[in-house]
Structure 1
Amino acid sequence: MFTNCFVKDLSGAASSTKHPAKEDAASGISRYLIDYWDDKKAGWMSCFNGMGIGGEFIAAIVPRTTSKARLRVLANSKDKALITAFEASNDPLGDPLNVAKGTATPNRTGKEAGGA
């Protein structure tokens, strides 16, 4: 089985809700897992199962408090998996958006009307 691991040490316990990752164009990752370190169980626990990273991908996860995160490459079409960035950060959910039934959803800041 092909496995490369990339570990991000968070220098102490920190809340994590997303894991941005970037893959080099010469790489061909097609299957990967993101794990977090569980201090209570003294072991790695899976929190994201993905297919393809590409130039940039953000894996959003359920909030976790952890001291480190790991990206494990399970399948790659090239000789080496080349990760150029792997981070762990906390991104709060933000303000809730409550729209009454039958009314238009307001534009999001920075987005064109009708855009994604």
Structure 2
Amino acid sequence: MTPTTTSQQELYRFLEDRFACAQACTECARACALRASLLDPGGTQEQERARRRGIMCAEVCDATCRVLAEHNCLDENGIRVQLELCRTVCLECAHAFDAQPGAEESATACRACARACTEFIATLR
């Protein structure tokens, strides 16, 4: 059975969305890891919270990127759960970075990743 043109287009769009989301996750992980390394572990409670959130966000984004790279290992429900976790953690991290001077770029990367996850979730059935 040959896929129809419509189903091929849907597949291409799905893969493009998956790739865009994975790229956003990678950028967010990089920004969060960099930001976390700049914060002193012995700093204020807010700095420590932001540092821990940054590390967690980098790990979740990295895991999400790996899930998205594995084409058929998870069904759409499994992918959706991972994307929802990533979106939530990214938004929490962005909020934590909002309170840190000079962390605007990292907060922006987190929000962009959350937005990419939201957009990709919308493509899942």
Fold shared per TM-score above 0.5: no
TM-score by length of 2: 0.23
Of the two structures, which has the highest relative contact order with CA contacts closer than 8 Å and spacing of 6 or more? 1
Q: Choose 1 or 2 for highest CA Rg.
A: 1
Scaled by the length of structure 1, the TM-score of the pair is 0.24
